[in-house]
Structure 1
């Protein structure tokens, strides 16, 4: 059983059911923290639609939180959600600007995540 993340007719990530639900749940909680909607909408068919401009703004807000603190705890709590979101953005043909000090490490993690995200 899967939990696809879809942009229009395109599946950006055909997540495993539990991985997909956890990601959507974490994104929802993070959205409350950054005070921005996620742009993710669960469908009755068991998938998740992505509204790209809203999702991009959410990822930008999440990255803003990540990049504005030196806290290793906040970095650790945010990083997996952020990297997964960056992969989805890239697959949608969108991106956000990363600070030079984060660009290489996040790019490497994004590449590793993308391979495991099928």
Structure 2
């Protein structure tokens, strides 16, 4: 079994259930911590709709937090989810960009990994 993370009719990602639940919990925690909408909709029986405008803003904010962080544990925690957020935003062509040299360096590093975001049928 797997989840689907969709923008409209396009499926961006289809992780297994456990990965999806961990991801959703982490996104909710970050949205609560930074008091901003994530753009990640509710889990509707394994289908999650992403609002591309809200999601792009969310990813930009988390990227900014990571790039300006001086706390090693915060860095490690954000490094667990931020590459997935960036890969989803890239796959959905949401236009996440670096606004500082630190953000650009982080994006370059993540994008160089070419993290596969396989959707069902890929």
Query: Do the two structures share a fold, i.e. TM-score over 0.5?
Result: yes
Bigger strand share: 1
- Consecutive unaligned residues of structure 1, counting only runs of 5 or more, are none
Contact 1:66–1:75 at 8 Å: present in 2 too? yes
- Consecutive unaligned residues of structure 2, counting only runs of 5 or more, are none
1:81 paired to 2:84? no
State how far apart, in whole Å, the 2-side matches of 1:100 and 1:77 are. 19
Residue in 2 aligned with 1:106? 110
State how far apart, in whole Å, the 1-side matches of 2:3 and 2:82 are. 19
Contact 2:97–2:104 at 8 Å: present in 1 too? no
State how far apart, in whole Å, the 1-side matches of 2:58 and 2:105 are. 21
Higher relative contact order (CA 8 A, sep 6+): 2
Contact 2:5–2:13 at 8 Å: present in 1 too? yes
Bigger helix share: 1
Runs (4+) of structure 1 exceeding 4 A deviation are none
State how far apart, in whole Å, the 2-side matches of 1:48 and 1:70 are. 33
1:30 paired to 2:30? yes
1:70 deviates by 2.3
In structure 2, the CA distance between the partners of 1:49 and 1:69, relative to structure 1 (3 Å rule), is same
TM-score by length of 2: 0.85
In structure 2, the CA distance between the partners of 1:43 and 1:70, relative to structure 1 (3 Å rule), is closer
Aligned length: 114
1:69 deviates by 1.4
State how far apart, in whole Å, the 1-side matches of 2:43 and 2:11 are. 14
